[in-house]
A and B are shown apart, each in its own frame.
Chain A
């Protein structure tokens, strides 16, 4: 339980720091880089290395590669839904999560990570 409480606090701090940095930067396309900053990864991996060791964290980041590729696809889909399909921001970002899930788990399955 302590692991999750520490994770929550650490994750909150790191994510808030990256978000605030993104808020202060212009232009917006540059600030957007911080929307895909590895903030959750930094907090989670810090705890994973401490509690489970380096091997466990290495396996997590190997799978994270698939999640990150899916995130790139997700960003493209959100942009398309907003500019072409005229979705509202909340709807576009939520609908595109389905695309992220399909691409991320699809890539992991292809790489043999689900077995």
Chain B
């Protein structure tokens, strides 16, 4: 069974103004990057292609959604919202490595063919990000299994046994 699920109904949780904020922020970030590039050159402007402005907005919206959902169930939900945003940020770290792959692939291929550069760079982002996410997930599962086995062996050995021999 695939660990990834796709739920179009999740879009109903969002409000119209939230989508408008994202649109405005995305547009502003793009226009701002273009402005910086034309004033300070492509090197400084290029840095802002990886500006975390969009992440700030998404993380705040995720927190709001979690708080709203928990409040409907009569709970505070603030901590849950922060945890959801923290989880999103770990995904963003992996996405950022994908973005490095995007930038390197694009800079190496754009002089030969522009359409190829866009396709190859987008694929590089997707492959590196998804592969990173799969490796991280696998490592977490192995760590959990090891810790479960260690606890189980300690339980079998009992409190009076020498636990150092078990590790």
Contacts and interface: CB of A to CB of B under 8 A. Distances in A.
Interface string B88-131: 11111111111110111011001100100110011001000110
A66 B86 CA distance: 23
B interface secondary structure, majority: helix
The interface centre, meaning the residue of A23, A56, A94 with most chain B CB atoms within 10 A of its CB, is A23
A interface secondary structure, majority: helix
A16 B62 contact: no
A28 B96 contact: no
A55 to B, nearest CB: 7
A79 B86 contact: yes
A89 B25 contact: no
Contacts of A74: 52, 55, 92, 96
A66 B47 CA distance: 7
Nearest to B97: A72
Interface in A54-112: 54-72, 74-76, 78-79, 82-83, 86-90, 92-94, 96-97, 100, 104-105, 108
6 contacts: A7-B34, A19-B58, A24-B7, A38-B99, A48-B37, A75-B92
Interface of B: 3-8, 10-11, 13-14, 19, 22-31, 33-35, 37, 42-56, 58-60, 62-63, 81-100, 102-104, 106-107, 110-111, 114, 117-118, 121-122, 125, 129-130, 133, 136-137
